[in-house]
Copies of this chain bind each other. A is one copy, B any other.
Amino acid sequence: MYIGVDLGGTNIGVGLVDEKGKIVYKGEIPTGVGRPFEEIIGDMAKLIQDVIEESDYKQEDLKAIGIGSTGLPDNKKGTIVLASNLGWENAPIRDELHKYFDLPIHLDNDGNTAGLAEAVAGACQGAENSITLTLGTGIGAGIIINGKPYSGAHSVGAELGHLIIHVDGIQCTCGNKGCWERYASATALISEGKKAAKNHSDSLIYQLVDRNLDRITAKTVIDAAKKGDVTALKLFDNYIYYLAMGIITIINSFDPAIIAIGGGVAGAGDFLFDALKKKVKEHIFYKEAPYAEITQAVLGNDAGIIGAAMLGKL
């Protein structure tokens, strides 16, 4: 059995996970950002102990603890190098957690753990090379090569949200212009939805939120598009175009067997995937050659815990 920890800026999720990537028992607490590092790790350790106890297992049954973290974890050093939404720099998370558990502790970023989860127990099973994208505030990515998460030479790769797809385009938080996530994240769709609703008061987007712009989500825009609203359909088509352009870039560079897409936007199901696949097919380089299957990620929020746990199996 393995423990998987999903460490985010809002919550800490912990699960006891079996060899096949199935969660046997899980729990969650608020991260409580702002408190001392030792206190947060102390709570994490308590939650791990609780999960073990309540699932009727013992520490002796465990092979390893894996942590999928927001920010920039460094598995070699055992630290979180940088995590802006935790307020941590060079946080010695492995040493701190070793005070509670005499077990191997593995680290990776939450993009890679989500990718590993889908590869072991989700939409990318059976593929040696796959990429899982999460369309949310930004675009998270987990790259699996030869069955293992790929983090590059300095553990700073897999930032596919920052593929530059439009030089001199929209300013990104990373300092550059035209990063993919400025066009194809949920945030991007929401932002375009708000602008459009403001300019087109007849749009269904505006009506679906009772004329309260702050309530517009990615789902609002997609729901309006599904119902044939002209304004929403235009936004949706643009969104699909930008999403496809990044995916073409991924196919032309990584050529994975499967690209799984999760996050709230992916919840639109066939409506989104049919349009996306059509657009990718139109723009693919080698029209005659096979290329990545594009499919919906299936593990949802559990992916973080499962993938973190599976770090112990690599």
A-to-B contact residues, CB < 8 Å:
72, 81-82, 127-129, 143, 145-146, 150-160, 162-169, 174-176, 178, 183, 241-242, 245-246, 248-257, 283, 285-286, 288-292
A153: chain B residues within 8 A (beta carbon):
127-129, 255-257, 292
A156 touches B256 (CB 8 A): no
B154 touches A283 (CB 8 A): no
A86 to nearest B CB, angstroms? 16
Assembled-state Cα–Cα distance A127/B245 (Å):
31
B72 touches A286 (CB 8 A): yes
B248 touches A176 (CB 8 A): yes
Can you list 29 residue pairs at the A/B interface with Cβ under 8 Å?
Answer: A72-B286, A72-B289, A82-B288, A128-B153, A143-B253, A145-B145, A145-B150, A151-B255, A152-B254, A152-B255, A153-B256, A154-B257, A154-B290, A156-B251, A156-B252, A156-B286, A157-B251, A157-B254, A158-B253, A159-B252, A159-B285, A160-B252, A162-B248, A162-B252, A164-B165, A165-B166, A165-B167, A166-B167, A174-B285
**Can you name 12 extra interface pairs (CB under 8 A) apart from A154-B290, A164-B245, A167-B242?**
A127-B153, A145-B150, A156-B251, A156-B252, A156-B290, A157-B254, A164-B165, A165-B178, A166-B166, A167-B169, A176-B248, A253-B253
B248 touches A164 (CB 8 A): yes
A286: chain B residues within 8 A (beta carbon):
72, 82, 156
Assembled-state Cα–Cα distance A128/B252 (Å):
22
Main DSSP-derived SS at the A contact region: loop
A165: chain B residues within 8 A (beta carbon):
164-167, 178
A80 to nearest B CB, angstroms? 13
B152 touches A256 (CB 8 A): yes
A291 touches B154 (CB 8 A): yes
A156 to nearest B CB, angstroms? 5
A253: chain B residues within 8 A (beta carbon):
143, 157-160, 163, 250, 253-254
Assembled-state Cα–Cα distance A153/B119 (Å):
14
A254: chain B residues within 8 A (beta carbon):
152, 157, 253
Given the interface contacts A154-B255, A252-B157, A254-B157, does A245 sit within 8 Å of B289 by beta carbon?
no
A45 to nearest B CB, angstroms? 28
A164: chain B residues within 8 A (beta carbon):
165, 245-246, 248-249
A156 touches B245 (CB 8 A): no
Assembled-state Cα–Cα distance A169/B256 (Å):
26
A250: chain B residues within 8 A (beta carbon):
253
A72: chain B residues within 8 A (beta carbon):
286, 289
A255: chain B residues within 8 A (beta carbon):
151-158
Assembled-state Cα–Cα distance A143/B129 (Å):
15
Assembled-state Cα–Cα distance A290/B81 (Å):
12
